[in-house]
Chain A
Amino acid sequence: MRPPIQPHNLVLRIAAKMLIPPILMFALYVQFHGETGPGGGFQAGVIFASAFVLYALVFGIGLARAVATGRLLRVLASIGMLLYITVGLASLFSDANFLDYDVLAQERMEGQHLGIFLTELSIGMTVAAVMIMIFFAFAERGVRP
C-alpha cells in the first residue's frame, strides 16, 4: 500500500515530511491572528488544504484518503456552515438582529470578539474541508480501476 522508497523520491519524501507540520502550524497561526494582522478564515483554510494536497502528491492518494476520509470532510464542511448559522440564530433568539454579535456575551466588546472568533473558525473549517474535497474528487477521477 505504501509507495516504495526509491532513491529518486527520497528527497521529496524527506522535504515533505519536514514541511507539512510547519505549514499546518502556519495555517493555524493565520487563522487565529486574523484579527491583529492580515489573515482570517479564508486564507487559513486554503493553506490548511494545501498541506493535505502536498501530502497526497508525495505519499499517494490512498494514504491521504485514510487520513481525510470522504465522510469526515463532508461532516466538517457541514459543521462549519451550521456553526455560522447557529451564531446568527443565537443572536436572533436574544432579541437582536440576525448576526448581531453585541448580545452574545455580557459586555459588547466581548460579544463582538466571541462572534468574530466563532465565525472565522467556521469559515476556516468549511473552506479547508471543501478545498480538500474538491482536490480528492479530481485526483480520484483519474485512477484506473
Chain B
Amino acid sequence: MLAVIRLRNLFAVVMLFGIYSFLAAALFVTLNAVDVAFTEAAVGAGIATFLMLSTLALTVRREKLRRKRSVIPLLVVTSIGATLVYGTFDMPYFSDPSAPVHGHVARHYIESSTAEVGVPNLVTAVLTSYRGYDTLGELTVIFTAGIGVLALLGYRKRGGKP
C-alpha cells in the first residue's frame, strides 16, 4: 500500500491496485465468504482495473512531481487512525460466536430460510427474497451509472464534432 502512495508511474499504481483486489478476494475465501469473493474478484480485479487502464489510455501515464510537501495530511491521517484504534478496544473479538452481530435477524434468516424460501444459497435467499427492495435500488444505481457514462462519453469523438 505504501508503494501506491509513492509511485509516480500510474500504470504501476493501477496494476498494484489489481493485485490488491485479488488478494482481498482470496482473503474473503478464507473468511468463508464465497459469494463476495466471487464478486470482488470479478468486479474489483476485473472491471475496476480495466476501467482505470482505459482512463490512463485516454489521459496521462505519469504523475507530476509536487513542488511543496506539506505534513498536514499525514497528521490528520495519523490522528484519525489513532482514534479508530482506540475505538476498537471495545469491539468483539475476531470470529467470536457470541458477538452481537450474529444474533437477532441473522439467526432468524439462517434458521427459517429453508422453510420459507427453499433456496440453499443463503446469500441469494436474503439478497433476492428477504431484502429484494434493496437489490432493486442497487440495480437502479447500476443503470443510472450506465446512463451517466453514456451521457458523458457516449456520442462525441475526441475533440471532434457531435
A142 touches B158 (CB 8 A): yes
Specify which chain A residues have a CB less than 8 angstroms from the CB of B149 in the assembled complex: 133-134, 137-138
Specify which chain B residues have a CB less than 8 angstroms from the CB of A140 in the assembled complex: 153, 157
A141: min CB distance to chain B, Å: 5
Interface residues of B in 93-138 (CB under 8 A from A): 116-121, 123-125, 127-129, 132-133, 135-136
Complex Cα distance A144/B58, Å? Answer: 11
Contact bitstring A109-145, B, C-beta under 8 A = 1, else 0: 1001101100110110011011101110111111111
Contact bitstring A6-46, B, C-beta under 8 A = 1, else 0: 00000000000000000000000010001111111011001
Interface residues of B in 13-38 (CB under 8 A from A): 34-35, 37-38
B89 within 8 A of A: no
B119 touches A113 (CB 8 A): yes
Contacts A46-B47, A137-B149: A80 and B139 contacting too (C-beta < 8 A)?
yes
Chain B residue nearest in CB terms to A85? B136
A90 within 8 A of B: no
A112 touches B118 (CB 8 A): yes
A99 touches B143 (CB 8 A): no
Specify which chain A residues have a CB less than 8 angstroms from the CB of B124 in the assembled complex: 34-35, 39-40, 116, 120
Complex Cα distance A98/B55, Å? Answer: 40
B38 touches A39 (CB 8 A): yes
A64 within 8 A of B: no
B128 touches A116 (CB 8 A): yes
B73 within 8 A of A: no
Specify which chain A residues have a CB less than 8 angstroms from the CB of B42 in the assembled complex: 43, 46-47, 50
Complex Cα distance A43/B146, Å? Answer: 17
Complex Cα distance A145/B155, Å? Answer: 12
Specify which chain B residues have a CB less than 8 angstroms from the CB of A141 in the assembled complex: 58, 153, 157-158
Complex Cα distance A142/B121, Å? Answer: 42
Chain B residue nearest in CB terms to A57? B50
A37 touches B121 (CB 8 A): yes
B148: min CB distance to chain A, Å: 9
Specify which chain B residues have a CB less than 8 angstroms from the CB of A53 in the assembled complex: 50
B158 touches A40 (CB 8 A): no
Q: Which 4 A-B pairs have the closest CB atoms?
A: A130-B146, A138-B54, A38-B34, A46-B42
19 new A-B contacts, CB < 8 A, other than A135-B50, A138-B51, A141-B158, are: A30-B38, A39-B35, A40-B35, A42-B39, A46-B46, A46-B47, A47-B42, A77-B146, A88-B136, A113-B119, A116-B119, A116-B125, A116-B128, A119-B128, A122-B139, A123-B135, A129-B146, A134-B146, A145-B158
Cβ contacts A to B, 5 pairs, < 8 Å: A42-B43, A116-B128, A135-B50, A142-B158, A143-B158
